[in-house]
């Protein structure tokens, strides 16, 4: 799957060309990391702006250590599942459909994720931190 052409948002002056290039590159990186945007532009990034602006010395584990735990698993299934469930607001049917797995398999994976991270993906106040940490990890991986 080819990524759509990303834009730097509203037009900038020629003197700000470096900023436009940086914004377009960050938008493309967010798309490669799994961002689902209304349109592929800087001004559509929403909370992904926080991910794109995260300082390089901010570790993923500083946001939530559970993201590192999931990344260290032998297979990426749990990390991908956690991101999908969180991105769909805990909607099991939509997450299972996107992952192309049976709901029973999804429930099993959610139990494993919750045991490994200590985060209830439906009710824990730490859901947002885990989601941001998983997004940051994916964003940084997309740069490689």
pLDDT of amino acid 15? 76
pLDDT tens sequence across 87-122: 999 999 999 999 999 999 999 999 999 999 999 999
- Helix (H) / strand (E) containing 91: none
pLDDT of amino acid 18? 84
Q: Where do we find the tokens 């377009």?
A: 24
Q: Give the residue among 116, 45, 117, 128 at the shortest CA–CA distance from 90.
A: 128
Distance CA 90, CA 136 (A): 20
> In the numeric block, which tokens belong to residue 121?
């993906």
Distance CA 82, CA 69 (A): 12
Helix axes of 77-87 and 103-117: crossing angle, nearest 10 degrees: 100
* Average pLDDT score over the chain: 91
User: What does pTM read for this prediction?
Assistant: 0.86
pLDDT tens sequence across 38-71: 888 899 999 999 999 999 999 999 999 999 999 9
Distance CA 35, CA 27 (A): 9
pLDDT of amino acid 2? 62
Whether 36 contacts 103, CB under 8 Å: no
């Amino acid at each position: 799957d080819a990524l759509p052409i990303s834009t730097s948002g509203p037009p900038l002056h020629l003197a700000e060309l470096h900023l436009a290039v940086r914004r377009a590159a960050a938008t493309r990186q967010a798309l490669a990391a799994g961002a689902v945007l209304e349109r592929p532009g800087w001004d559509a990034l929403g909370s992904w702006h926080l991910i794109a602006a995260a300082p390089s010395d901010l570790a993923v584990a500083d946001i939530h250590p559970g993201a590192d735990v999931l990344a260290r698993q032998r297979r990426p299934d749990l990390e991908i599942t956690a991101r999908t469930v969180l991105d769909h607001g805990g909607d099991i049917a939509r997450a299972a459909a996107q992952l192309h797995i049976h709901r029973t398999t999804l429930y099993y994976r959610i139990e494993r994720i919750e045991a490994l991270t200590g985060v209830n993906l439906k009710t824990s106040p730490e859901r947002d931190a885990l989601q941001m940490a998983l997004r940051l990890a994916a964003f940084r991986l997309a740069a490689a």
